Structure 1
Amino acid sequence: MQTKILRHKYYELLKADFTSFIGKSFITVNPGTKFLYNWHIELISEILQEVAQGKIKRLVINMPPRYLKSLCVSVAWPAWLLGHNPTQRIMVASYSQLLSNKHSLDCRIVMLSKWYRELFPETILRYDQNTKYKFATNHGGFRFATSINGTNTGEGGNVLIVDDPHNFMHINSIKQRNKVIEWFEQGFISRLDDKNTGSIVLVMQRFHENDLAGYLLKKNSCSRYYLKIPAITHQKTYISVGKLNIIREEGSILHTKREDKIQLNIIKNELGEYSFAAQYQQMPINTMGNMIKAEWIKRYKEIPIGGKIIQSWDTAIKAGRNNNYTVCSTWMLDKNNYYLIDICRVRVEYPDLKKLVEALAGRWKAELILIEDKASGQSLLQDFKREGKLPLMAIRPVGDKITRFASCSIMFELGRVFLPLESKWLTELEYELLSFPITNYDDQIDSISQFLSYIKNHIYNGTKFKIRML
């Protein structure tokens, strides 16, 4: 009797707690291997439950290899979803059908296990639809495995999972990277049954700044939740998901029982700095960049009170899809430190650009607005000069952009420049900063170097801060 009571309590735990369910699933598909619990597994569990509850519709998870990302997302989670709701329609894709089938078979092993069938007696796999790439429940739900080169004609789902879409051997091929992006944009996401309620989850290690995760991050969608889990943190990091609040101190190791600092250094030496930065740190950096070192970047948690606000505009010539962005960086000056408090990065035609300049100036109560005196910036300066209502300064850049940025990089090195701990625009900005001068876009760099050059020439050298009206 006591054994039955204990089993009942254990099953209730597995049913209610997804983290425990992940651990049981691991033991089921890896008999004889010890399950090493770590906080990141609970973090993934928590965020996937947020997706299951409809609180998150689009999710990107980037984390190092061999840290159970596939077991959590592609094996345990589909089994968990189908257990709680056997009508769920789940599609899972990987770069190869062989890998996708492997995850499918592992998920099926879990669902056919004795404990799972006792835990979810209502979820029964149909005998007439039970293959290595697709199995269905008696309630019409299913898990379907496909690949980048596979076919999913006619199939659809309310949960779409992409697990490692890139083949590492082809990652440096622009053609192959674009093929994955086109497959995702033009094919896979159209398989979502209900665009309003369905969810899409991408889980992968980073390989390249222009891989699928990088492409989605550059789209900067406010509806997409991004979870980056590096092997080693390069600054103090705050993570808040659901009921979890996690603080990772600077230099903390993701999972010391699995790979401690010594082992990670060995891996770094074997892979090389840039592959390690991508695959383990989730920060792919162009090998010819690195004018700014990551350790130079300082962080702030709260914006200082009472500092002066300066905005720096780098305006594009045109607003077409293939043209550069228009960027406004908003800064707060506090003593000899400079806090980047906002980035606005858009493609916009002139009439809307003029309205945007006024709106951002009003929002942040800008005391000085720097605008490059060329292209659409000239029109802004002329129009606002006639109206006389904004504190503008025309900036005439000297030298090429690499030289300009190099001359003010000392401000980063001296620890004068502060970025926020968290912001929706932070990841994309960091890529640009750490990859410059070899990067797809450098409009944020232009805006930042314009501001820092102004500071260096007018304030840092001792000149008194003064507002000039054009």
Structure 2
Amino acid sequence: MPAALKLTPADWLAIEREACKRSLATFVQQAWHVIEPGQPYVHGWHIDAVAEHLEAVTDGQITRLYIAVPPGSMKSLMASVFWPAWQWGPKGQAHKRIIATSHAEGLAIRDNLRCRRLIESDWYRSLWPEVKLTGDQNEKKKFENTATGFRQAMPFGSLTGSRGDSIVIDDPLSVDDAASEAKRETVNTTFLEAVPTRLNNPDKSAIVCIMQRLHERDVIGVIEAKGLGYDALVLPMEFEPDRRCKTSIGFTDPRTNDGELLFPERFPPAVIERDKKVMGSYAWAGQMQQRPAPREGGLFKRAWFEIVDAAPASRRKVRRWDLAGTEAKGTGDPDWTVGLLLSEQAGIYYVEAVTRIREAAAGVERTIKATALQDGKSVPIVLPEDPGSAGKSYASYLVRLLAGWNARAERETGSKEVRATPVSAQAEAGNIKLVRGSWNEAFLDEVSMFPNAAHDDQVDALSGAFAALLSGSSYNLANVA
């Protein structure tokens, strides 16, 4: 029999080098002890999936990628720490220049330091001694190697200066900022206008966005709304068969059963149920399910709205308008002007029709007047009055335009959620029905996503119409056929 093969330390190093070169996931597992010496490595199949897509970016198969995964899935470590070090060492691409950014500068710097610590570790240097950092550019925000590659950390709001072969965007929006329209739109403008200018080669350089969903108009929402052509790796914590993820490199979410967990090795069923109660349905839907509203709906659920063929013959009516503001900056997805006709009989409310347009002021005025003619003068009209003298003047102008109708303008008070709560309670009780029409689906889509929807114009119009009917005596709302 031949003598047993004896491997030298150099042989073992060569084997490890080759294994890490072939697989980013293998590199992650082998390098784990350097980054997290006090925590045991726990593997999940999603790590392989994320690694395969980052490998495809390295190989030039993908140049635009977003990854939506729950927190605690190693997303920051995978994309911001291990992947840059893997490209420089195992893949032999030390010339790569990487810009890594996050909503907070401290987080971006944290991962820059982790990546540098890995590259300077005894383990890494024993396997890839050819990767050497320069002494004159080795700081916590930026470090460079002798092949002129670098990794630089930046806060997402300050993408200036350097250009990279790849830009890693790790959580561009914080959970707290997601509730602010102004902050969301600032982030979206940076993504659309600043990020593309930070690339070395627009046709070959890569943008990788890895995050959790926080709002329908977050960065991923903008990518989808504008059809920017990103590959999308979307992995909810609990599997939803109708949202099974498939990508251009042949990946398909391997789960088959509704509710099957993404990472049970770390997040077993008991932990999932505990965290659901703590987080609530809104936070769970976005951060864990990668859907900015609960599956069955948020403040409004689709199942609450029965669709009927017609409203009763005799009922109180009101037409409530919600006027579009200016276009949301950078999204190409402006708000709508909505006129909602709501009626009531015996405590049951009927959404009879929704007029929904995107027009300039002259078109809006024509539509309001034409709708009033169609409704008839027996149907009161309520218009919003925006704050400030300009809003008051425009509201007065519209009321004059509707001379001969029972029209008035009102200033809204309280948040949109507060105004929607009373009508939500009636919907939950089954007291709000929809008259069958082509507008039904768009209405249900919007209300079931509220308050995290990209648009809330129909919800605002519904809330205002409900409030008008509730205080009907002040509007002289008589029963009309």
What TM-score results when the alignment is normalised by the length of structure 1?
A: 0.63
AA partner of residue 301 (structure 2): N
Q: CA separation of 1:115/1:408 partners in 2, compared to 1, >3 Å: closer, same or farther? A: farther
Q: CA separation of 1:186/1:275 partners in 2, compared to 1, >3 Å: closer, same or farther? A: same
Q: Which residue of 2 aligns with 1:32?
A: 38
Once residues 27 and 430 of structure 1 are traced to their aligned partners in structure 2, the CA distance between those partners, rounded to angstroms, is 50
8 Å CA contact retained: 1:64, 1:282? yes
Aligned partner of 1:82 among 69, 83, 88: 88
Aligned partner of 1:219 among 206, 216, 226: 226
Whether 2:58 is the aligned partner of 1:69: answer: no
Deviates more, 1:241-250 or 1:91-100: 241-250
Secondary structure (helix, strand or coil) at the match of 1:283 reads coil
Once residues 220 and 46 of structure 2 are traced to their aligned partners in structure 1, the CA distance between those partners, rounded to angstroms, is 20
Q: CA separation of 1:260/1:193 partners in 2, compared to 1, >3 Å: closer, same or farther? A: same
Whether 2:23 is the aligned partner of 1:9: answer: no
Once residues 241 and 430 of structure 1 are traced to their aligned partners in structure 2, the CA distance between those partners, rounded to angstroms, is 31
Q: Which residue of 1 aligns with 2:66?
A: 60
Structure (1 or 2) with the larger CA radius of gyration: 2
Once residues 452 and 236 of structure 2 are traced to their aligned partners in structure 1, the CA distance between those partners, rounded to angstroms, is 23
Q: Give the C-alpha shift of residue 185 in structure 1.
A: 1.8
Provide, for residues 375-399 of structure 1, a one-character-per-residue CA deviation record: whole Å limited to 9, x for no partner: 9xxxxxxxxxxxxxxxxxxxxxxxx
Aligned partner of 1:206 among 208, 213, 218: 213
1:143-154 equivalences in 2 (<5 Å): 143-150=151-158, 152-154=159-161
Q: Which residue of 2 aligns with 1:458?
A: none
Q: Give the C-alpha shift of residue 437 in structure 1.
A: 9.5
Q: Give the C-alpha shift of residue 81 in structure 1.
A: 1.6
Secondary structure (helix, strand or coil) at the match of 2:209 reads strand
Aligned partner of 2:132 among 121, 124, 128: 124
Once residues 438 and 208 of structure 1 are traced to their aligned partners in structure 2, the CA distance between those partners, rounded to angstroms, is 5
1:208-247 equivalences in 2 (<5 Å): 208-221=215-228, 223-235=229-241, 237=244, 239=246, 242=249, 244-247=251-254
Whether 2:203 is the aligned partner of 1:196: answer: yes
Q: Give the C-alpha shift of residue 243 in structure 1.
A: 6.2
Once residues 437 and 177 of structure 1 are traced to their aligned partners in structure 2, the CA distance between those partners, rounded to angstroms, is 14
AA partner of residue 106 (structure 2): L
Q: Which residue of 1 aligns with 2:301?
A: 290
Q: CA separation of 1:114/1:322 partners in 2, compared to 1, >3 Å: closer, same or farther? A: closer
Provide, for residues 293-349 of structure 1, a one-character-per-residue CA deviation record: whole Å limited to 9, x for no partner: 9xxxxxxxxxxxxxxxxxxxxxxxxxx956679xxxxxxxxxxxxxxxxxxxxx9xx
AA partner of residue 435 (structure 1): M
Q: CA separation of 1:141/1:430 partners in 2, compared to 1, >3 Å: closer, same or farther? A: farther
Secondary structure (helix, strand or coil) at the match of 1:136 reads strand
Q: Which residue of 2 aligns with 1:378?
A: none
Q: Give the C-alpha shift of residue 188 in structure 1.
A: 2.5
8 Å CA contact retained: 1:205, 1:278? yes
Secondary structure (helix, strand or coil) at the match of 1:168 reads coil
Secondary structure (helix, strand or coil) at the match of 1:248 reads coil
1:276-355 equivalences in 2 (<5 Å): 276-285=284-293, 287-291=298-302
Q: Which ranges of structure 2 fall in alignment gaps of 5 or more residues?
A: 1-5, 305-326, 337-357, 359-369, 372-426, 458-481
> Over the residues paired in the alignment, what is the CA RMSD in angstroms?
3.4
Q: Give the C-alpha shift of residue 57 in structure 1.
A: 1.2
Q: Which residue of 2 aligns with 1:270?
A: 278
Provide, for residues 194-235 of structure 1, a one-character-per-residue CA deviation record: whole Å limited to 9, x for no partner: 1111110000111122212212221122x2111111000122
Secondary structure (helix, strand or coil) at the match of 1:264 reads helix
Whether 2:437 is the aligned partner of 1:435: answer: no
Secondary structure (helix, strand or coil) at the match of 1:15 reads helix
Once residues 120 and 433 of structure 2 are traced to their aligned partners in structure 1, the CA distance between those partners, rounded to angstroms, is 60
Q: Which residue of 2 aligns with 1:162?
A: 169
Q: CA separation of 1:406/1:439 partners in 2, compared to 1, >3 Å: closer, same or farther? A: farther
8 Å CA contact retained: 2:232, 2:247? no
Once residues 23 and 69 of structure 2 are traced to their aligned partners in structure 1, the CA distance between those partners, rounded to angstroms, is 22
8 Å CA contact retained: 1:135, 1:144? yes
8 Å CA contact retained: 2:199, 2:205? yes
1:31-50 equivalences in 2 (<5 Å): 31-50=37-56
Q: CA separation of 1:104/1:207 partners in 2, compared to 1, >3 Å: closer, same or farther? A: same
Provide, for residues 338-381 of structure 1, a one-character-per-residue CA deviation record: whole Å limited to 9, x for no partner: xxxxxxxxx9xxxxxxxxxxxxxxxxxxxxxxxxxx99xxxxxx
Provide, for residues 57-86 of structure 1, a one-character-per-residue CA deviation record: whole Å limited to 9, x for no partner: 111111100110001100011111222211
Q: CA separation of 1:70/1:98 partners in 2, compared to 1, >3 Å: closer, same or farther? A: same
Provide, for residues 151-196 of structure 1, a one-character-per-residue CA deviation record: whole Å limited to 9, x for no partner: x432111101100111222221111111111222222221111111
8 Å CA contact retained: 1:93, 1:146? yes
8 Å CA contact retained: 1:47, 1:241? no
Q: Give the C-alpha shift of residue 288 in structure 1.
A: 3.1
Q: Which residue of 2 aligns with 1:21?
A: 27
Q: Give the C-alpha shift of residue 37 in structure 1.
A: 0.8
Q: Give the C-alpha shift of residue 246 in structure 1.
A: 4.0
Once residues 238 and 223 of structure 2 are traced to their aligned partners in structure 1, the CA distance between those partners, rounded to angstroms, is 23
8 Å CA contact retained: 2:298, 2:451? no
8 Å CA contact retained: 1:58, 1:199? yes
Aligned partner of 1:99 among 107, 122, 135: 107
Q: Which ranges of structure 1 fall in alignment gaps of 5 or more residues?
A: 294-319, 326-346, 348-373, 376-401, 418-427, 444-470
8 Å CA contact retained: 2:292, 2:453? no
Q: Give the C-alpha shift of residue 432 in structure 1.
A: 5.2
Q: Which residue of 1 aligns with 2:187?
A: 180
Once residues 287 and 237 of structure 2 are traced to their aligned partners in structure 1, the CA distance between those partners, rounded to angstroms, is 9
Secondary structure (helix, strand or coil) at the match of 1:197 reads coil
1:386-397 equivalences in 2 (<5 Å): none
Once residues 115 and 16 of structure 2 are traced to their aligned partners in structure 1, the CA distance between those partners, rounded to angstroms, is 21
Deviates more, 1:34-43 or 1:141-150: 141-150
Q: CA separation of 1:185/1:288 partners in 2, compared to 1, >3 Å: closer, same or farther? A: same
AA partner of residue 128 (structure 1): D
Secondary structure (helix, strand or coil) at the match of 2:37 reads coil
Q: CA separation of 1:57/1:438 partners in 2, compared to 1, >3 Å: closer, same or farther? A: closer
Secondary structure (helix, strand or coil) at the match of 2:241 reads coil
Deviates more, 1:231-240 or 1:70-79: 231-240
Once residues 17 and 10 of structure 1 are traced to their aligned partners in structure 2, the CA distance between those partners, rounded to angstroms, is 11
Q: Which residue of 2 aligns with 1:257?
A: 265
Deviates more, 1:108-117 or 1:261-270: 108-117
Q: CA separation of 1:137/1:438 partners in 2, compared to 1, >3 Å: closer, same or farther? A: closer
Once residues 259 and 322 of structure 1 are traced to their aligned partners in structure 2, the CA distance between those partners, rounded to angstroms, is 37
